[in-house]
A and B are shown apart, each in its own frame.
Chain A
Amino acid sequence: MHITRRSFVSTAAASAGLITTGISPLRAAAYPERDITLIVPWAAGGGTDALGRTLTKNAKQYIGVGVTVVNRPGGTGVAGMKAVATAKPDGYTLGLITFHLSSYRLSGLSELSYRDFEPVMLLNRSPTGFLVKADSPFKTMKDLVDYSKANPQVVTVATSGAGAVPHLSTALLAKQLGLKVTFVPFDGGAPARTAVLGGHVTMLVVNSEEALQFYKSKQLRFLALNSDERHSSFPDVPTIAEAGYPLQTLLLDWRGIAAPKGTPKEILDVLTVGFRKMAQDPEYIRLMDEMALPRANAERDKFREFLDNIEKALEPGLAEVGLLKKI
């Protein structure tokens, strides 16, 4: 074998690393030797994209190489996530996977599920918020529930879209309490919010972060947060249980990092440590706080367990709204 000066130097460096750290396989010590690609299955400029870019902005500092964000939107996230799942499991292609992955199999869109990935780290779980316009007569969750009980179908509920977490959470709540509400699905959280701000729809159910600005400007009022704990960005908002309606199933929006199935354990170890550090980056923490995205830190098997539970919770939700079409 022809040994070039460079390969000799890097082998020597790797062996030196071996000696000092005591890790055995040579391959893991060499990884990562070039930039890593992070596929974001959503368009540039969105919240998930902002998260991915800020998280990996200082990657070089934490993992030794840069992380390049590549947007692969299309097919409601399937295109990008499929590209990750089918990529070479060498640790150089990773994905920022999102809630939608939990629903593909159940809604019949694609066979893709978390089973096609090696979960690395859960970055965020966002609770749904139940809100009304500031001048609404409904001051508490109880006001609204009581009114809705007395007047079936009359309460209109703006959601970010059919089948998304806010819609399913509300459907599950309504089922548990025996309520009948009228859903008005919008194409995303922002238009739904605008419809409630304009007084066209009674209630707004969206991911809590989408209401932040209007919570601060006091144009929208939170009735409750569909969560098991309070949210640091909305300290005075009660959880749904505190508002008097403990829910049997809790659905949460989520985002996380995953590698293709079959990625070697040694590489996953490097990635886990690297992303753990990136998630502690002050700039990333500041962005997450400003966007009101609660940070989560379930790694590997814990992340997998979380994904398993979400899928189990999703099934009755989708069945309730008639969107269950399991593959």
Chain B
Amino acid sequence: MFDPQLLFAGFATIASLKVFPFLVLGTVMGIVVGAIPGLTATMAIALLIPFTFAMDPISGIVMLLAIYAGGIYGGGVASILIRTPGTPAAAATLLDGYPMAQKGEAGRAIGIATISSGIGGLFSACALTLFAPLLATVALSFSAPEYFSLAVFGLVVTMSLSGNSLLRGFFSVLCGLTIGMIGIDPIGGFQRMNFGFSELSGGFNFVAVMIGLFSLSEAFRQMEQMDTMPPVPPAIRNVLPRFKEIAGMWTVYVRACVYGLIIGIAPGVGAETSSFLTYAEVKRASKDPSQFGKGAPEGVAAAQAAENGSTGGDLLPMLTLGVPGDAATAVLMGALTIHNLQPGPMLFQERPDLVHQIFAGMISANLMFMIVGLLGARLLAKVVQIDRRILVPLVCLLSLIGAYAIDNNPMDVWVTLFFGVAGWLMYRNGFPVSPLVLAVILGGMMESNLRRTLVMGLGSPAIMLHRPIALLILVLAALSLYAVIRRNSNEARKRKAEEAVTE
């Protein structure tokens, strides 16, 4: 149902003086809010919905789309600078972005992150524009068995983020799965493991868990070594990455765009899953995986491109089927509803002009945050130069305020503190944090869809045999598991040999 004429008309509307200022405003607000820990793109959209009341629908929607795209991108900036994911999706960016910044390459890391987010975002926005109705049928062919397989695949891939010890990584995954089980049983509807707290009846708030594990734990670690840590070298000046550098990572981008789009389209899973999965996949496929986690530009590129690469995919089921792809698009859907626009099949028939304006808005939003991001990067990169004695307490404060801001719920502050200590202990004992985080996200998806699959198969797992896509993903998962275990034992052998030589 793609109509180039309507798309051009859409661009013309967005370029008009009536709409364009809101595009710029939305982008700047999105990046700022995205970069502040605890304030997510989802919240920014929710907060600004009332302000769009007074605007005409398209200005309001374009502003919200710009906040969405800019917010998802902006989360990466905080990841790079202070190891605090500004949005949940940006957690994978910190794995390499923060080490880059600590090496004095904050500017370069932000530059790569910006260009990569833009590449991923533009690809997914174009895919959305050209193939929305077609891709909607793909979304429909996915159901519980396929989601279950996807979650299993994700958990297997996560294992490759384990670092040196696969066993410790496995332990982290198990912890994550257990934490994910707290709250309402997804099929039976009864309470489990809430220890009598009605505040926990919906489970731990995922964002609070993540702020604790990543940012607070890092702050604790820095406090401990405040006087012994070497100062961060001054940021190198060039922010704009060289074309050769970006072009050299094309395989990373192909992976990121494909994974981002597929995971985006799957309703209910969004940027946080796609960025971690892509990061792990790119690391696995890399010639030198040992560089990942120590400041590899490919790691930043993979995470950011996949993050924004899922935005178009997340919008797709929302617009075509009325099923939000993730939390942020769920709020966007609410915004459309308030403007008397009901997402779903009828929107494409009744308001094709508006649908194309949304497409044009999404493409423009991606271009806009690239411009704003590159302009602001040099300024932002200075954050890492702030004295640790000032920066670390600030990060703690931001983390706790951020945790409270999620739902205005004091319980989340305790959750963040708890996981801050837990993350610090895990770090000290060599347990990787990322597998735990991904297991919390994927655990619920895996459990509920496995049980749903079995119910749909009237109790028999044989239903999987009738689902070719699900079966294929499971086979891929098994192959990945084999590869991860083999590589890990090879590496362990190599390390032993090296140790023998040095002795």
Instruction: Tell whether, in the assembled complex, residue A182 and residue B455 are in contact, meaning their CB atoms are under 8 Å apart.
Output: yes
Q: How far is the CA of A182 from the CA of B457 in the complex (A)?
A: 10
User: Scoring B residues 269 to 281 as 1 if CB is less than 8 Å from chain A, else 0, what string do you get?
Assistant: 0000000000000
**B-side contacts of A219, CB under 8 Å:** 345
Instruction: Tell whether, in the assembled complex, residue B201 and residue A78 are in contact, meaning their CB atoms are under 8 Å apart.
Output: yes
Question: With contacts A45-B45, A213-B346 known, is A184 near B334, CB below 8 A?
Answer: no
Chain A residues 273 to 327 lying within 8 A of chain B, measured CB to CB, are: 286-287, 290-291, 321, 323, 325
Instruction: Tell whether, in the assembled complex, residue A198 and residue B140 are in contact, meaning their CB atoms are under 8 Å apart.
Output: yes
**A-side contacts of B127, CB under 8 Å:** none
Question: With contacts A50-B338, A213-B342 known, is A197 near B140, CB below 8 A?
Answer: yes
Interface hub of A187, A216, A291 (most chain B Cβ within 10 A): A187
Instruction: Tell whether, in the assembled complex, residue A191 and residue B331 are in contact, meaning their CB atoms are under 8 Å apart.
Output: no
Which residue of A107, A108, A200, A290 contacts B143 across the interface (Cβ within 8 Å)? Answer: A200
Q: Is B152 an interface residue (CB 8 A)?
A: no
Task: Count residues on chain B whose CB falls below 8 Å from chain A CBs.
Answer: 59
Interface hub of A162, A183, A186, A190 (most chain B Cβ within 10 A): A190
Query: Distance in Å from the Cβ of A230 to the closest Cβ of chain B?
Result: 21
**A-side contacts of B407, CB under 8 Å:** 71-74, 79
Q: How far is the CA of A287 from the CA of B334 in the complex (A)?
A: 12
Q: How far is the CA of A69 from the CA of B47 in the complex (A)?
A: 10
Question: With contacts A43-B46, A78-B201 known, is A217 near B334, CB below 8 A?
Answer: no
**A-side contacts of B143, CB under 8 Å:** 194-195, 198, 200-201
Instruction: Tell whether, in the assembled complex, residue B456 and residue A74 are in contact, meaning their CB atoms are under 8 Å apart.
Output: no
Query: Distance in Å from the Cβ of B214 to the closest Cβ of chain A?
Result: 22
Chain B residues 149 to 199 lying within 8 A of chain A, measured CB to CB, are: 184-191, 198-199
Q: Is A16 an interface residue (CB 8 A)?
A: no
Question: With contacts A45-B330, A185-B189, A214-B344 known, is A200 near B144, CB below 8 A?
Answer: yes
Q: Is B53 an interface residue (CB 8 A)?
A: yes
Closest to B190 in A: A323
Q: Is B408 an interface residue (CB 8 A)?
A: yes
Chain B residues 94 to 118 lying within 8 A of chain A, measured CB to CB, are: none
**A-side contacts of B267, CB under 8 Å:** 190-191, 194
Instruction: Tell whether, in the assembled complex, residue A154 and residue B458 are in contact, meaning their CB atoms are under 8 Å apart.
Output: yes
**B-side contacts of A49, CB under 8 Å:** 334
Q: How far is the CA of A107 from the CA of B189 in the complex (A)?
A: 10
- At the interface with chain A, which of B292-300, B316-324, B363-371? B316-324
Chain A residues 144 to 187 lying within 8 A of chain B, measured CB to CB, are: 153-154, 156, 161-164, 167, 182-187
Instruction: Tell whether, in the assembled complex, residue A156 and residue B199 are in contact, meaning their CB atoms are under 8 Å apart.
Output: no
Q: Is B220 an interface residue (CB 8 A)?
A: no
Q: How far is the CA of A177 from the CA of B38 in the complex (A)?
A: 51
Which residue of A45, A69, A108, A194 contacts B323 across the interface (Cβ within 8 Å)? Answer: A194
Q: How far is the CA of A214 from the CA of B143 in the complex (A)?
A: 18
Query: Distance in Å from the Cβ of A213 to the closest Cβ of chain B?
Result: 3
Instruction: Tell whether, in the assembled complex, residue B455 and residue A156 are in contact, meaning their CB atoms are under 8 Å apart.
Output: yes
Q: Is B202 an interface residue (CB 8 A)?
A: yes
Query: Distance in Å from the Cβ of A97 to the closest Cβ of chain B?
Result: 16
Instruction: Tell whether, in the assembled complex, residue A45 and residue B332 are in contact, meaning their CB atoms are under 8 Å apart.
Output: yes
Interface hub of B142, B190, B458 (most chain A Cβ within 10 A): B190
Q: How far is the CA of A183 from the CA of B189 in the complex (A)?
A: 12
Which residue of B139, B187, B191, B452 contacts A108 across the interface (Cβ within 8 Å)? Answer: B191
Instruction: Tell whether, in the assembled complex, residue B49 and residue A217 are in contact, meaning their CB atoms are under 8 Å apart.
Output: no
Instruction: Tell whether, in the assembled complex, residue B334 and residue A44 are in contact, meaning their CB atoms are under 8 Å apart.
Output: yes
Question: With contacts A69-B50, A76-B201 known, is A153 near B334, CB below 8 A?
Answer: no
Closest to A213 in B: B344
Closest to A48 in B: B334
Chain A residues 81 to 119 lying within 8 A of chain B, measured CB to CB, are: 82, 107-110
Instruction: Tell whether, in the assembled complex, residue B140 and residue A194 are in contact, meaning their CB atoms are under 8 Å apart.
Output: yes
**B-side contacts of A108, CB under 8 Å:** 191
Which residue of B139, B189, B205 contacts A161 across the interface (Cβ within 8 Å)? Answer: B189
Q: How far is the CA of A162 from the CA of B184 in the complex (A)?
A: 10
Closest to A71 in B: B46
Q: Is A231 an interface residue (CB 8 A)?
A: no
Closest to B50 in A: A53
Query: Distance in Å from the Cβ of B47 to the closest Cβ of chain A?
Result: 8
Q: Is B228 an interface residue (CB 8 A)?
A: no
Closest to B344 in A: A213
Closest to B341 in A: A290
Closest to B329 in A: A45
Q: How far is the CA of A69 from the CA of B185 in the complex (A)?
A: 30
Chain A residues 193 to 242 lying within 8 A of chain B, measured CB to CB, are: 193-195, 197-201, 212-214, 216-217, 219
**B-side contacts of A183, CB under 8 Å:** 455
Closest to A82 in B: B198
Chain B residues 415 to 463 lying within 8 A of chain A, measured CB to CB, are: 448, 452, 455-456, 458
Query: Distance in Å from the Cβ of A47 to the closest Cβ of chain B?
Result: 7
Q: Is A261 an interface residue (CB 8 A)?
A: no
**B-side contacts of A194, CB under 8 Å:** 139-140, 143, 267, 317, 321, 323
Instruction: Tell whether, in the assembled complex, residue B345 and residue A213 are in contact, meaning their CB atoms are under 8 Å apart.
Output: yes
Closest to B334 in A: A45
Instruction: Tell whether, in the assembled complex, residue A291 and residue B323 are in contact, meaning their CB atoms are under 8 Å apart.
Output: no
**B-side contacts of A110, CB under 8 Å:** 198
Closest to A290 in B: B340
Instruction: Tell whether, in the assembled complex, residue B452 and residue A186 are in contact, meaning their CB atoms are under 8 Å apart.
Output: yes
Instruction: Tell whether, in the assembled complex, residue A43 and residue B331 are in contact, meaning their CB atoms are under 8 Å apart.
Output: yes
Q: How far is the CA of A262 from the CA of B188 in the complex (A)?
A: 37
User: Scoring B residues 331 to 366 as 1 if CB is less than 8 Å from chain A, else 0, what string do you get?
Assistant: 111110110101111110100000000000000000
Apart from A76-B184, A198-B142, 9 more pairs, CB < 8 Å: A46-B334, A57-B53, A79-B198, A110-B198, A156-B455, A200-B143, A201-B143, A213-B343, A217-B345
The 10 closest A-B pairs by CB, nearest first: A162-B189, A45-B334, A213-B344, A45-B331, A44-B46, A200-B143, A198-B140, A163-B189, A217-B345, A190-B323
- Can you list 14 A-B pairs, Cβ within 8 angstroms, ordered by A? A43-B331, A47-B337, A69-B50, A74-B205, A74-B407, A75-B199, A154-B458, A187-B186, A193-B323, A194-B140, A194-B323, A199-B140, A216-B345, A217-B345
